[in-house]
Amino acid sequence: MGPATPSLHAGFPTYRYRRHLPNLFLAALVILLALLLMRYPDTGVEAAKEGLRIFLEIVFPSLLPFFILSEFFLALGVVHFLGVLLEPLMRPLFNVPGVGAFALSMGLAAGYPMDAVITARFRQQGMCSREEGERLLAFTNTADPLFILGAVAVGMFGRADLGVLLAIAHYLSAFSVGFIFRFYGREKGRPQRGARLPARVQRAGESSRHSVVGWLRRAVRAMQQARRDDGRTLGALLNDSVQESVSTLWRIGGFIMFFAVLSALLLRSGLLSRIAWPVAMILRLVGIDPQLAPPTLAGVLELDIGTAQAAATQSTLTDRLIVASAIIAWSGLSVHGQVASIIHATDLRMGPYVVARLLHALLAAIYTSIACLFFPQAVATFSQIGLVPQLSLTQSLLASLASWRQWPALLFATPHLAFAALTLLAMAGWRRRSQPPSPVRPRRQSAARSAASPSRDRTAPSRSSALTP
């Protein structure tokens, strides 16, 4: 027996340990961050203070009321009530249950990461399947209108008229992502017909389709049943909602501080500009100023820093708007980390969420470029109305509407107005689906009776035939 032949991959340890490369890469990044902290300790401390200030002054007071209210809405059955009412709207458009309208409305009102908190609660209570929860995360993760209209348009770009353009591109691309993701996992996430959904939330068309009173009665029953299933007293509900909300918010604050420090260290060390050349090549290929590559990389990490840097560059206004719109839609790894920490207790996956964010960023950039192409005057000059070009006829006709250019904030920043609008749309869709009872069924029954009568005549002789000899 000859000597053993050496293996083909002998002497290539990287082949044997290839599966450890991702862990080694992450370890190298952590070591690099630690070295940067030791090299620039003052930058790290100042960035952490700034992140803590943003969290305590902006994020914490703005999100805490929404977090507590969402817990009350779930425990009192308001979400289940809306779920039955809005099922005819959410199911055909986005292939999600009607309770998804609550996550969408609260996400529009409060911004990141309110939708992830509500979707995780839906999944924990069995109000949606895993695929439906991932569809909800795909298109409900949006920035709030006040951030786009105020912080970005006025605070960063210094022009209030650009807020409407950015808001329309942002929300239109989000709804487009939701419509595209309605086909994701459709066979796996489809509820069985006639099955009893958890929390007794039946689909709107199971029974009494042709009665508005029956439709509202099912919604009220779902709300009452959800309240009985919860069973907590008002004091216990208040204690649990405050405790869970504060705990979740402090996790969010930790992510904000960490990514603020990371972005500041990369900027101070100059590494961000040195590794930006691949992004600059991609931007040059699509016709965007490559000077926006460092702000794009900063936006990949943190939303506010990247958007502010993109607005402060010397590039053309159209390029800055496109990059800022894409950064807002992407929302940054800081928000992604917050979402991951929120849904870690569920079986929801981050893969579809990240794909949806990439698609959202791409569509937002495309819609913004189209808006800048078709409305060049509204983008190039300061307009009092927003997207309306500065023509004498349109100015004279729409001058009275100039004070209402902030209508997205007035609508979406108020939850009850958003609920009312969605309810009206659902009622319109339900009225189209409902039809009067068809007269075909009684005819089928009469035909069956007429077909059965000759058979009985053949088996039992009639009275006239019995009298004949």
Name the least confident of 1-10, 74-83, 184-193. Answer: 1-10
Mean pLDDT, rounded, of the chain: 76
* 172 pLDDT more than 90: yes
Task: Check whether the bond before 113 is cis (ω within 30° of 0).
Answer: yes
Name the least confident of 53-62, 130-139, 262-271, 417-426. Answer: 417-426
Higher pLDDT, 414 or 61: 61
325-354: average pLDDT: 93
51-64: average pLDDT: 86
**Residue 207: count of CB within 10 angstroms of its CB:** 11
Tell me the pLDDT band of 327, cut-offs 50, 70 and 90.
Answer: very high
Residue 410 CA to chain centroid, in angstroms? 20
Cα gap 304→312, rounded to integer Å = 12
Name the least confident of 40-44, 277-281, 298-302, 390-394. Answer: 390-394
Cα gap 282→84, rounded to integer Å = 46
Higher pLDDT, 416 or 362: 362
Q: What is the pLDDT of residue 145?
A: 87
pTM confidence score: 0.72
Written as one string, the DSSP assignment of 218-247 is HHHHHHHHHHHHH---HHHHHHHHHHHHHH
Name the least confident of 71-85, 222-236, 381-395, 427-441. Answer: 381-395
CA angle at 181 for the pair 176 and 186, rounded to the nearest 5°: 145
pLDDT in tens, 101-149: 888 888 888 888 888 999 999 999 888 999 999 999 999 989 988 889 8
Tell me the pLDDT band of 218, cut-offs 50, 70 and 90.
Answer: confident
* 427 pLDDT more than 70: no
Tokens at 86, concatenated: 């809005």
CA atoms within 13 A on the CB side of 434: 18
Q: Read off φ and ψ for residue 408, nearest 5 degrees.
A: -60, -35
For 385-422, give one letter per residue: b (16+ CB within 10 A) or e.
bbbbbeeeeeeeebeeeeeebbebbeebbebeebbeeb
Tell me the pLDDT band of 352, cut-offs 50, 70 and 90.
Answer: very high
Domain coordinates of the chain in residue numbers? Answer: 41-190+204-389+409-431
192-213: average pLDDT: 46
Tell me the pLDDT band of 387, cut-offs 50, 70 and 90.
Answer: very low
Cα gap 186→333, rounded to integer Å = 28
Q: What is the pLDDT of residue 170?
A: 95
Tokens at 342, concatenated: 């929120």
Q: Are 222 and 76 in contact (CB under 8 A)?
A: no
Tokens at 410, concatenated: 């007035």
